[in-house]
Copies of this chain bind each other. A is one copy, B any other.
Amino acid sequence: MTHDNDTHPPSGYRFSDPQLPRAPWSLADLNNMMAACLLGPDDVAALRRSGPLLDPQREAILDVWYGFVGSHSFLLDSFVDTKTGQPDGDYLSRVRARFGQWILDTARADYDENWLRYQFEIGRRHHRVAKNATDNAHASPLVPFRFLPLLAQPIVDTLRPFLSRGGVTMAEVDAMQNAWRKAVLLQVTLWSYPYIIEGDF
User: Interface residues, chain A, CB within 8 Å of chain B?
Assistant: 32-33, 35-39, 72, 74-75, 127-128, 142, 144-147, 149-154, 157, 178, 181-182, 185-186, 188-189, 192, 195-197, 200-201
Report whether B149 and A185 are in contact in the complex, using a CB–CB cutoff of 8 Å: yes
Residues of B within 8 A of A188 (CB): 149
**In the complex, what distance in Å separates the CA atom of A200 from the CA atom of B148?**
12
Residues of B within 8 A of A157 (CB): 38, 178
- Pick the contact of A197 from B37, B146, B150, B197 — CB < 8 Å? B197
Report whether B200 and A142 are in contact in the complex, using a CB–CB cutoff of 8 Å: yes
**In the complex, what distance in Å separates the CA atom of A38 from the CA atom of B201?**
27
A-B contact pairs, 9 of them (CB 8 A): A36-B74, A36-B147, A38-B153, A145-B201, A149-B189, A149-B192, A153-B182, A153-B185, A192-B192
A38 with B74: in contact, given A195-B196, A197-B195, A200-B145 (CB under 8 Å)? no
**Of A150, A151, A153, A186, which is in contact with the most chain B CB atoms at under 10 Å from its CB?**
A150
**In the complex, what distance in Å separates the CA atom of A147 from the CA atom of B182?**
13
CB distance from A75 to the nearest CB of B (A): 7
Residues of B within 8 A of A192 (CB): 145, 149, 192
A37 with B201: in contact, given A72-B32, A192-B145, A196-B145 (CB under 8 Å)? no
**In the complex, what distance in Å separates the CA atom of A132 from the CA atom of B149?**
26
**In the complex, what distance in Å separates the CA atom of A189 from the CA atom of B172?**
30
Residues of B within 8 A of A182 (CB): 153
Report whether B149 and A75 are in contact in the complex, using a CB–CB cutoff of 8 Å: no
Report whether B36 and A128 are in contact in the complex, using a CB–CB cutoff of 8 Å: no
Q: Which 5 pairs between the two chains have the least Cβ-Cβ distance?
A: A36-B150, A37-B153, A37-B150, A149-B189, A195-B200
A36-B150, A146-B201 known; 8 new pairs, CB 8 Å cut-off, are A36-B146, A36-B147, A36-B151, A36-B153, A39-B153, A145-B201, A149-B192, A153-B181
